[in-house]
A and B are shown apart, each in its own frame.
Chain A
Amino acid sequence: MNISRFFLRIYEIWRFVVQFFKEVFLPPYEYKEIVNQFFQVGIRSLSIITLTGFITGVVFTKQSRSSLSEFGAASWLPSLMAIALIRALAPLVTALIIAGKVGSNIGAELGSMKVTEQIDAMEVSSTNPFKFLVASRILATTVIVPILALYMGFVGLMGAYLNVHHNEQTSFTSFFQSAFTKITFLDIWMLLLKSAVYGFTIGVAGCYNGYNASQGTVGVGRAANTAVVVSMFLIFIEEMIIVQLTNYFKHGG
């Protein structure tokens, strides 16, 4: 890709994002489709988020115990796990899972609709395919990913608690009291905020690549693949930037 095509693509994505904000706030609203997408992104992802969150909690606790025990600091496990899950793991792992599961689905679905002229069919029947297909999906990923991330944080802590309880016979109350001593409301807000950014990124990457798919079935595969690769890449970049900004505001640089 030469430099002018690269900037042209950036400009197209910018216009796509601007159009999303126009369509999502201006009536008429596609309530039924928005609720459907909330269901598709949220409820359909619950089982995998539960499983991965629980395993993350158990494994991370197990791996951290030996290091902390060397310093006689095994009692720090609950707070370490809470910090790790709430500040980093829950939003990041949730976003990566949703990028793989939902992002690829959006890219493939819209790509397939594009190459089989279903999007053109919506346009010629005087409806707004962007509002129906794109705005609803980006809104759903932006709203649902933070909720899923919070849920994963909770499930991960439950996994951590089971492991700690099994090894140290810590009670449920004392585990969570200890876990939340180091967690502030700012951490919770940051989890929600950055998960919303990741969700928005997943939605835009999936919808943009699917909505602009071309060249038949090859284009559909490419749209799904690009949606996942681009969103995962951007999520890591965003994570790095957000952590830097958070530290800057927390500690003044």
Chain B
Amino acid sequence: MEANAVISLRGLKKSFGSLQVLKGVDLDVYQGENLVILGRSGSGKSVLIKIVAGLLRPDEGSVIVLGQDTSRLDIRAWQALRTRIGFSFQNSALYDGMNVKDNLEFPLVRNKRHLSSRDIDDAIAKVLDDVGLSHTLYQMPAELSGGQKKRIGIARTLILQPEIMLYDEPTAGLDPVTSVEINDLINEVQQRYNTSSVIITHDLTCAKQTGNRLVMLSEGKFIRQGRFEEVFDTDDPRVKNFYNYNFITDHERTE
């Protein structure tokens, strides 16, 4: 494991039945960086971060997060580690039955039991202000737009002040303007909360705006890594096709 790596994956393999999704992945995520993992749908990107967050177990390989080998953690140790990891879901995963305030309060009151109700209210007000949605405090998730849901989902993870942020397709299903706003928010979170982030996406605009470093996952393995320009400076058809399809319009494609 590299000295300043916050996440270190070695020889990671994962299969679902006969389908091998990850075929021996090695990866280091360094302190303070925004790492983008690019890849087509079904390439195993989401599986990778779900393994990091402990939602899935790898078949083989080691996962070291913030210096802890996750295969050796018991339930309590996992719970303690998870307070240091934020996970923003593709569909936001806000709790339907709770308003925004209760959504934000939920992880806080269960993990920081010593906090007074005033401390909790202050923490909620701060994260809502950070994501620019202070006016939504008592709204239900069904009353929020897609972009607002993403922001509240990010706020819910930020309330525990994590050291690592994992974003699963942060701009999926959003219009271009809202996508850019979410990209800006990801960068703001990195600077304001001093987080290290892993951003899973197939949106090249998101990758370019947020990523300090990119890795490209194809058929269960990383095939390219580096800065945005470095990753796409290749004749590899898998990379070329991915780039072209992101920037060619639907109209051009049908022509």
The reply to whether A118 and B93 contact each other, CB–CB distance below 8 Å, is yes
B67-91 CB mask vs A (1 if < 8 Å, else 0) is 0000000000001101101010111
**Which residue in B87, B110, B113 is a CB contact (below 8 Å) of A124?**
B87
Flag if A127 contacts B89 (CB, 8 Å).
no
Residue of B with least CB distance to A30: B110
Chain B residues with CB under 8 Å of A28's CB are 110, 113
B82 and A126 form a contact (CB under 8 A): yes
Chain A residues, CB < 8 A from B107: 125-127
Closest Cβ–Cβ distance, residue B124 to chain A (whole Å): 14
Q: What is the minimal beta-carbon distance from A70 to any residue of chain B, in angstroms?
A: 55
Give A131 to B160 CA distance when docked, in angstroms. 20
The answer to whether B110 touches A120 (Cβ under 8 A) is: no
B156 on interface, CB distance cutoff 8 Å: yes
Quick one: given A125-B107, A125-B156, are A120 and B93 in contact (CB under 8 Å)?
A: yes
**Which of B83, B89, B91, B97 touches A126 (beta carbons < 8 Å)?**
B83
| Residues A124 and B54 in contact in the complex (CB < 8 Å), given A117-B91, A118-B93 | yes
Interface string of A199-243 (1 = CB under 8 A from B): 000000000000000000000000000000000000000000000
A184 to B82, CA, bound (A): 55
Tell whether, in the assembled complex, residue A126 and residue B55 are in contact, meaning their CB atoms are under 8 Å apart.
no
Q: List, in ascending order, chain A residues with CB within 8 A of B87's CB.
A: 120-121, 124-125
Q: Contact flags (1/0) for B7-32 with A, using CB distance below 8 Å?
A: 00000000000000000000000000
Contact partners of A122 in chain B: CB under 8 A? 95, 106
Taking a contact as CB atoms closer than 8 A, the residue among B80, B90, B94, B110 that contacts A127 in the complex is: B110
> Is B96 an interface position by the 8 A CB rule?
yes
**Residue among A28, A116, A128 with most chain B CB within 10 A:** A116
Q: Does B218 contact A (CB under 8 A)?
A: no
Question: By CB atoms of chain B within 10 A, which of A112, A116, A120, A124 has the most?
Answer: A124
| Residue contacts A-B, CB under 8 angstroms, 13 given | A116-B91, A117-B89, A117-B93, A120-B89, A121-B89, A122-B95, A123-B55, A124-B85, A125-B87, A125-B160, A126-B80, A126-B107, A128-B79
